[in-house]
Amino acid sequence: MNPVLAELHDKARAVLDPVHYDFFAGGVGDEVVLAENEAAFRRRALLPRVLRGIEVRQDFPVLISPTAFHKLAHPDGELATARAAGTTTLVSSMASTVPIAEVVAAASGPVWFQLYVQPDPAVTEALVRRAERAGCAALVVTADSPVFGRHRRDLAHGFHDLPAGLAAENMRDLTGPGLRTIEMSPAVSWGHLDRLREMTALPLWVKGILHPADAVLAVEHGVAGIVVSNHGGRQLDLVPAALDALPAVADAVAGRVPVVLDGGVRGGGDIAVALALGASAVGIGRPVLWGLAADGEQGVRRVLDVLHDEFLHVLTLCGGELSRDVVVARC
């Protein structure tokens, strides 16, 4: 792990209420997948190409993945994250503790709106319209959550709702302020995605794809992009590491739409490995929360800056270009 990220994680652990730290840090079940997401990167090595004469000039291929309840990490919440994002795309969780319009107003780069399709179609449509009015540039439908994950740390703490004064602000006037006002529904299907496509002109991404056949379906249903993700090890503790699922999904998609990988990215080298295995960009979840908890806007900016710097450094050492053949197993 990048040492700056490790330092920010340590500081976040020290300053956060342990219940909230565990909400952010934890995973589902035995937390096997949580650990595997990071371990999968350690199982890979890079086989650099040399003497290529390429000077690296590359956009920063990173998005901020949607994570809920930033005010649990810092009083400025998503406003600090949005200010720190700069030109990096911020995927704002529908469970943000700042209304989406204020998140977009605080950001200088693109903001995408993450959506859990709600059982009541009127609530889903109201959220879509809210995202459109706010000026969001895309919708990201999370597909891996037919039910809430069972997070043992939260159950042990009895953490079921937000503290007084904090709310899932996008839901407040729709269903109420609390955590459980956001519903998960196993009835959500590809038909819902089709209806969303008809409902809005916003590009529609789908997040939480692991099976290559679902990636093909997603393309057939007209998505603008796919996020290969196991929700940071927070849904089913039996799935592969996100990185291990990536190559087959990238093959199935065959360049028709961009594929983003999230889960376990903790350094610039991890970004390089994910790109070499077929991702067009990566999403970062917890490191942003650690930066936010440790030092607000400055902390998030530091996370993005060190990842950018380290990624460019690794890319240069790899000869400036990444393809599948530069990733080998670390025996």
Ligand X SMILES: Cc1cc2nc3c(=O)[nH]c(=O)nc-3n(C[C@H](O)[C@H](O)[C@H](O)COP(=O)(O)O)c2cc1C
Whose tokens are 């956060």? That residue is 16
Of ligand COI, ligand X, none, which one sits near residue 24, judging by CB under 5 to 8 A according to partner kind? ligand X
- Active site includes 151? no
Q: Can residue 20 be called a binding residue for ligand COI (CB under 6 A)? A: no
Of ligand X, ligand COI, none, which one sits near residue 284, judging by CB under 5 to 8 A according to partner kind? ligand X
71 assigned to a ligand binding site:
no
Site size with ligand COI, rule: CB under 6 A: 7
The CB-of-163 to ligand X minimum distance in angstroms stands at: 15
Please, which residue, 148 or 190, has the CB nearer to ligand COI? 148
Of ligand COI, ligand X, none, which one sits near residue 207, judging by CB under 5 to 8 A according to partner kind? ligand X
The CB-of-179 to ligand COI minimum distance in angstroms stands at: 6
Of ligand X, ligand COI, none, which one sits near residue 114, judging by CB under 5 to 8 A according to partner kind? ligand X
The CB-of-68 to ligand COI minimum distance in angstroms stands at: 4
Q: Can residue 70 be called a binding residue for ligand COI (CB under 6 A)? A: no
Q: Can residue 182 be called a binding residue for ligand COI (CB under 6 A)? A: yes
207 assigned to a ligand binding site:
yes
**Interface contacts to ligand X, rule CB under 6 A:** 23-24, 37, 65-68, 93, 95, 114, 142, 207, 229, 231-232, 234, 262-265, 284-286
264 assigned to a ligand binding site:
yes
165 assigned to a ligand binding site:
no
| Active site (catalytic) residues | 231
